[in-house]
């Protein structure tokens, strides 16, 4: 079967060997289902080490599941969730937040996938007006879907704004590890200490097989969450296998090594492409994604060798994602293939 590595998404990668080992080790005897087991207990302890002792941690199956349950837990259906137009919850979840939480998303345009306080303020003009949905949550992606990263200061600013207006801050952290690696910051600094209320914490895109976590930094928000999770069909029965994977990621620094590696590969790719004529890097490379304008005819040719997505058909902007298993050879080869496809050899030797 298929063994090629591509640049389509970090979820096209497989499972990190250490995570796989953890799955094997956890496969001994019986364990009580649904999270009442020692593996889950151990993994939660690790989360609390990273996020603080007050954190309430719940494992779920997937990233969309993490987002919709986190949002449903802290909203009522007449609330609105403020997010960037590019947010995964707005674009890539087939309306799951609206359906499950009942809420409206107030999606704001941004140049770089990052929300600013100034954009949100006007939405509050109708606070208390019974005809209008009531903004309740600010949801940011960290790193964003455009590969950019909020500085800790920016998150803190959003959190303070939220708190001052009775709102909450949610972080879609499907790639939080990549953001942390970029910033050289720990999870606690990026979330608990920055004032984040609730977090979707990604595992699958950073080397796990499946499994994400919903982490409540503000524990009172977690009160009913176990019911929300079950009602959303996001309660894994053989929970120990999700827990064991997270333990593999978090017990030592595997989460960081994976994220640093994929970030580094993205920077290398961007550096290589910078020397290819007719290719223009379009966004700051702050995590594991590289966005670039690529001539349409080149796209087709490169795709014969590597799978990746066209982000914007209008402008022929492509997205190239690196993952924990992307190699320097992969990057070099991709740059060469692109260089050939656009008809320029200039960048070739130097990569």
Residues 59-118 that bind a second copy (CB under 8 A): 61-65, 68, 76-78, 80, 91-96, 98-100, 102-105
Specify the residue, 263 or 326, whose C-beta has the smaller distance to a second copy.
326
Residues near a second copy (CB under 8 A), total: 80
Q: Which residue among 22, 31, 46, 108 contacts a second copy (CB under 8 A)?
A: 31
Region from 48-56, 124-132, 152-160, 334-342 binding a second copy, contact rule CB under 8 A:
124-132
Question: What's the first-to-final CA gap in the chain, in angstroms?
Answer: 30
**313 touches a second copy by CB under 8 A:** yes
CA distances from 248 to 10, 17, 19, 206, 252 (A): 18, 10, 6, 11, 7
Nearer to a second copy, 24 or 184 (CB): 24
d(CA 346, CA 351): 10
* Span 213-232, contacts to a second copy by CB under 8 A: 224, 226-232
302-325 CB burial, b ≥16 within 10 A, e <16: bbeebebeebeeeebbbbbbbbbb
Q: Which residue lies nearer to a second copy by CB, 3 or 164?
A: 3
Tell me which residues in 35-64 interact with a second copy (CB under 8 A).
37-39, 42, 61-64
Distance separating alpha carbons of residues 202 and 183, to the nearest angstrom: 17
Q: Rounded to an integer, what distance in angstroms lies between the CA atom of residue 22 and that of residue 208?
A: 10
Q: Does 9 bind a second copy (CB under 8 A)?
A: yes
CB of 81 to a second copy, least distance (A): 11
Site for a second copy in 132-171 (CB under 8 A): 132-134
CB of 328 to a second copy, least distance (A): 16
Minimal distance, residue 138 CB to a second copy, in Å: 17
Q: How far is CA 276 from the centre of its chain?
A: 29
User: Of 53, 118, 131, 349, which lies in the binding site for a second copy, with binding defined by CB under 8 A?
Assistant: 131
Residue 216 tokens read as 């409540």
What is the dihedral sign for C-alpha 77, 83, 85, 88?
Answer: negative
What tokens appear for 209 in the block? 């097989």
**Of 4, 111, 184, 304, which lies in the binding site for a second copy, with binding defined by CB under 8 A?**
4
Rounded Cα gap, residues 173 and 202, in angstroms = 6
């Amino acid at each position: 079967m298929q063994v090629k590595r591509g640049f389509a998404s970090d979820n096209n990668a497989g499972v990190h060997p250490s995570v796989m080992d953890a799955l094997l080790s956890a496969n001994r005897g019986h364990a009580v289902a649904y999270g009442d087991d020692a593996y889950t207990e151990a993994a939660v302890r690790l989360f609390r080490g990273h996020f603080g002792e007050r954190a309430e941690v719940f494992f779920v199956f997937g990233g969309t599941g993490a987002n919709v349950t986190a949002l449903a837990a802290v909203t009522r259906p007449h609330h609105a969730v403020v997010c960037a137009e590019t947010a995964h919850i707005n674009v890539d979840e087939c309306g799951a937040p609206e359906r499950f939480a009942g809420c409206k998303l107030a999606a704001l345009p941004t140049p770089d996938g990052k929300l600013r306080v100034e954009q949100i303020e006007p939405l509050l003009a109708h606070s208390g007006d019974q005809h209008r949905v009531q903004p309740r949550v600010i949801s940011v992606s960290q790193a964003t879907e455009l590969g950019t990263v909020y500085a800790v200061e920016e998150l803190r600013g959003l959190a303070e704004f939220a708190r001052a207006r009775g709102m909450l801050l949610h972080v879609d952290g499907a790639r939080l590890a990549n953001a942390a690696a970029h910033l050289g910051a720990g999870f606690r600094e990026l979330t608990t200490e920055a004032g984040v209320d609730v977090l979707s914490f990604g595992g699958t895109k950073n080397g796990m097989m499946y499994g994400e976590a919903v982490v409540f930094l503000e524990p009172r928000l977690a009160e009913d969450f176990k019911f929300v999770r079950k009602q959303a069909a996001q309660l894994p029965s053989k929970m120990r296998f999700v827990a064991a994977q997270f333990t593999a990621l978090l017990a030592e620094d595997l989460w960081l090594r994976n994220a640093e590696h994929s970030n580094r590969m993205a920077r290398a790719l961007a550096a290589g492409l910078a020397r290819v004529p007719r290719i223009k890097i379009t966004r700051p490379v702050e995590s594991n994604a590289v966005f670039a304008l690529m001539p349409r005819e080149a796209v087709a040719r490169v795709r014969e060798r590597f799978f990746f997505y066209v982000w914007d058909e209008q402008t022929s902007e492509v997205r190239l994602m690196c993952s924990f298993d992307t190699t320097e050879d992969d990057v070099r080869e991709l740059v060469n293939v692109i260089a050939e496809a656009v008809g320029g050899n200039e960048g070739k030797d130097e990569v």
